[in-house]
Structure 1
Amino acid sequence: MANPLLEAPSKSSPETAIDLSQQASTFITSQSSWLSAIPYPLSLFINTESQEKWQTYENLFLACLRTGDDNTAYACLESLTDRFGKGNDRVVALQGLYKEATAKNESELAEVLREYEEMLKSDPTIFSIRKRRAAVLRSMGKTSDAVTALTNLLDQSPTDAEAWSELGDLYLTQGSYDQAIFSFEEVLLIMPYSWNMQARLGEVLYLASGRTEGGDQMKILSESMRRFCRSLELCDDYLRGHYGLKLVTTRLLEVLSTSKKPQQSSSDPVRGDLAPPSVDAVKKLNELATSKLAEIVRRSNSGEKGWDGYSAAEIIAARELLDRDTQKIER
C-alpha cells in the first residue's frame, strides 16, 4: 500500500488531506527533536538526508494549505527554504503558492502576480514561476492571458505534460473542444500510459460529439469509446473510465440505431479513420461497464478491503447512473 505522505495531496481525497495536515505538526517536531538530542560531535555523523523526507515536507505543506492550516504550512516551507535556499526554483514556486493561498483579496493576488512578473523579467527561464503566473491569471478570470502564457511556455518547453494538461483545461472552459483535444493528445504523446489522461480525452471527445451529427458524431463517439477502453486496459478498476465507457456506449448505441447504414462505413487508411464499431461490440462494452460499475459500487459501499479508495462523490455518481438505467427498463 502506498504511503500517503509520499503522494501528492492534490490527488488525494479531502479526508486524506485533512489527515495529512493533522500529522504535520507531529512530523515537524519529530524531525527537529531527535537530532538535537544527539551530543556533538556524534551529530556530525548523522545524515538525515533523503528524497522521501523532503517530499514529505512538501506534501505536508500542500496538504496544510489545502485545509487552511497556514501556520503549519509556513513551518514546512521554512524547513524547505533552510535546506534548499531561497533561490531554489521549486522553493520560490512554493513561496509564491503560499502567498497565493493566503491572499485575502483580489489586490493581494494581483500583487503576487506582479512579483511573478518581476522575477520573470530578471530570469524568464524559471518555468515553475511561469506556471504559477498562468495559474494566478486563471484564478483571476483572465483566461485568455493564461492561455497566452501557457502557449508561450510550451513554445520553449514542448514536452511539459503538466502545461499541456492545464492548457487543455483552459480551452475546455472556453468551449474550444478542438484545441482541448489537441492539447490532451499532446499530453498522451508524452505520457502514453497515463490512464487518467486517456479517460480525460475520452470525456472531451464525448462532449465535443454533442456539437456534431451524422457520420462525424459517430466518428467522435467511436474515438471516445476507444479512449475509455484504453484507460481501462491500463487500469482495470478505474471508476471514471467505466463511468465514461457506459455513457459513451449508451449514446453510441442510440446513434447507431438511428443511422441508416451504420455497417457500410469503412476505414480510410490515408486519413487514419477507423470503421465504426458494430452494434454487438458496443452492447458488450456497455454491459461490461454496467457490470463493473455495479461491482465497484457494491463492494465499495460494503467497505470491502481493497475497494475503499474511491471518493464518496464518485460512488454516488456511479449509483445514480446505474439507477437511471434501471428506471428506463421499468418504464
Structure 2
Amino acid sequence: MSSSLLHPPSHLSPAIALHHSQEAPSILGSSTGAISTSLFQSLLSAPETAELWTIYENLLLSCLRTGDDDSAHQCLGRLVNRFGNDNERIMALKGLLKEADANDAATLDVISKEYDQILQDNPTNIPILKRRAALLRSIGRTPASVTALISLLDVSPTDAEAWAELADLYFSQGLYSQAIFALEEVLVLQPNAWNIHARLGEVLFAGAKSSDNPGQLGEAIKRFSRSIELCDDYLRGYYGLKLTAKQLLGDSQKTLQNRTGSDGFSIPDQATLSKLDEMATEKLAEIVRRSSAGEKGWQGYDVAEIEAARELLENDSGTIIR
C-alpha cells in the first residue's frame, strides 16, 4: 500500500492520484473486516489503526479526482460506519460526494442550502464552513464565497488555508490591497512558507502594474528574494525576481523617484538590480535545462511553469534555451 495515501491527496500529482484510485478495489477488498458491524468478523480481522481511516479518507478524495465515484462511496460508507453521521468531518465528506454527484446548478443550490441549515444548528462546524465556501466559489458566486470565508475566519482566525483562499478570491477580483493583507496573515502563521512569499510577490507585482507604483515592486523584490532564500530551487521565486528586476531596470527614472516602498523597504540600486537579474537568469536556465533533461533531483516541476521560464529567458536573450 502506497505511503502517499497517508498524505492529503490535494498535494499529489494527477498521476499518483490515478494510481491510488486504481488501487482502490484491492485496498477495499483486503480490509473489509476492519469496518464490519459484525462482532465475529471484527474479531477475525486485523485491528483498526488511525492510519486506516486516514487512508480511507484520502483514497476517497483521490477517487473523486479521477471519477471513481463507486469506490469513493464505499470509502465513505466505511467511515460512516466507524464515526457516525453526526461527525463534523463525515458531514463535510458526505457533502463533497453530493457535490460530485450533482448534475445541475439547481442541485448544487440545494446542497448549499443544506450547508446553511447545518450551520444554523452549529455555526462553528469548520468542515462545513469550508465546504460551503468552496461550493459557492465553484458555482461562480464569488462575493458569497468571500463572505463565507470571512465567517470561517471569524470562527478560526488561525486557519492559514482559509486566508490563502481568501487572498486568491480577492486577487481574482482585482482587489490587490485586500489580497496582500490576506497573504500577510498567512505569513504571520507560516513565516517560512516560501511559496506564500513568492505568491505575495506576484500580487505585489500585479498591484504595482495596476497602480503604477514602483514602491510595491521594491516590496515584491524583497518577497521573491525571501522565497528563494528559503527554497534554493523554487522556480516561481526566481521567475518573479527576474521579472520584477527587469521591470525596475527598464523604468529607472520612476525607480529613482520612488526609492522607498510603502513599508519603508528601499528599492535596490541599479547595480544590485542587475546582479539580481543575472542571478535569477542563471538559476532559471539551470532549472529549465536540468528539468528538461530529466536529471535526478530536478524532476517534479510543473511543465507549464518550465515552459513559461523558457519563454522568459528566450525573450530576454534572443537565444533558444534547450
* TM-score for both structures, normalised by structure 1: 0.88
Report the Cα offset of residue 33 of structure 1.
6.8
Q: Which residue of 2 aligns with 1:16?
A: 16
- How many residue pairs get matched? 317
1:323 counterpart = 2:314: yes
Q: Is the 8 A contact 1:6 1:55 kept in 2?
A: yes
Report the Cα offset of residue 260 of structure 1.
7.3
Q: Name whichever of 112-121 and 285-294 sits farther off.
A: 285-294
Give SS of 1:258's match. helix
Call closer, same or farther: CA 1:136–1:261 in 2, change over 3 Å: closer
Q: Which residue of 1 aligns with 2:295?
A: 304
Q: Which residue of 2 aligns with 1:230?
A: 226
Q: Which residues of structure 1 form unaligned runs of 5+?
A: none
C-alpha separation in 1, matches of 2:260 and 2:67: 56
Q: Which residue of 1 aligns with 2:192?
A: 193
- Identity among equivalent positions (%) equals 50
Give, as a single letter, the amino acid of the residue that structure 2 aligns with 1:99: K
Residues 221-261 of structure 1, C-alpha deviations (whole Å, 9 max, x = no match): 11111111111111111122222222111112212x23374
Q: Which residue of 2 aligns with 1:292?
A: 283
Q: Which residue of 2 aligns with 1:174?
A: 173
C-alpha separation in 2, matches of 1:31 and 1:317: 45
Q: Which residue of 1 aligns with 2:101?
A: 102
Call closer, same or farther: CA 1:54–1:253 in 2, change over 3 Å: farther
Give SS of 1:259's match. helix
Give, as a single letter, the amino acid of the residue that structure 2 aligns with 1:113: S
Report the Cα offset of residue 48 of structure 1.
3.0
Call closer, same or farther: CA 1:72–1:146 in 2, change over 3 Å: same
Q: Is the 8 A contact 1:205 1:220 kept in 2?
A: yes
RMSD, aligned α-carbons: 2.6
Q: Which residue of 1 aligns with 2:202?
A: 203
**Pairing 1:1-331 to 2, within 5 Å after superposition:** 3-32=3-32, 43=43, 46-50=46-50, 52-213=51-212, 217-255=213-251, 257-259=252-254, 261=256, 265=259, 272-327=263-318
Call closer, same or farther: CA 1:265–1:123 in 2, change over 3 Å: closer
Give, as a single letter, the amino acid of the residue that structure 1 aligns with 2:282: S
Give, as a single letter, the amino acid of the residue that structure 2 aligns with 1:319: R
C-alpha separation in 2, matches of 1:278 and 1:134: 44
C-alpha separation in 1, matches of 2:169 and 2:110: 23
Q: Is the 8 A contact 1:35 1:43 kept in 2?
A: no
C-alpha separation in 2, matches of 1:56 and 1:323: 45
* TM-score for both structures, normalised by structure 2: 0.90
C-alpha separation in 2, matches of 1:98 and 1:9: 16
Q: Name whichever of 184-193 and 137-146 sits farther off.
A: 137-146
Call closer, same or farther: CA 1:278–1:77 in 2, change over 3 Å: same
Residues 19-43 of structure 1, C-alpha deviations (whole Å, 9 max, x = no match): 222122222222237999xxx7994
C-alpha separation in 2, matches of 1:35 and 1:89: 19
Call closer, same or farther: CA 1:41–1:71 in 2, change over 3 Å: closer
Give SS of 2:210's match. coil
C-alpha separation in 2, matches of 1:131 and 1:185: 21
Call closer, same or farther: CA 1:310–1:261 in 2, change over 3 Å: closer
Give SS of 2:285's match. helix
Give, as a single letter, the amino acid of the residue that structure 1 aligns with 2:30: S
Residues 130-186 of structure 1, C-alpha deviations (whole Å, 9 max, x = no match): 111111111222111111122122223221112111111111111111011101111
C-alpha separation in 1, matches of 2:229 and 2:281: 16
Call closer, same or farther: CA 1:35–1:100 in 2, change over 3 Å: closer
Call closer, same or farther: CA 1:34–1:132 in 2, change over 3 Å: closer
Give, as a single letter, the amino acid of the residue that structure 1 aligns with 2:229: E
Report the Cα offset of residue 115 of structure 1.
0.9
Give SS of 2:31's match. helix
Give, as a single letter, the amino acid of the residue that structure 2 aligns with 1:225: I
Give, as a single letter, the amino acid of the residue that structure 2 aligns with 1:236: D
Report the Cα offset of residue 89 of structure 1.
1.0
Give, as a single letter, the amino acid of the residue that structure 1 aligns with 2:316: D
Give, as a single letter, the amino acid of the residue that structure 2 aligns with 1:315: I
Q: Is the 8 A contact 1:13 1:311 kept in 2?
A: no
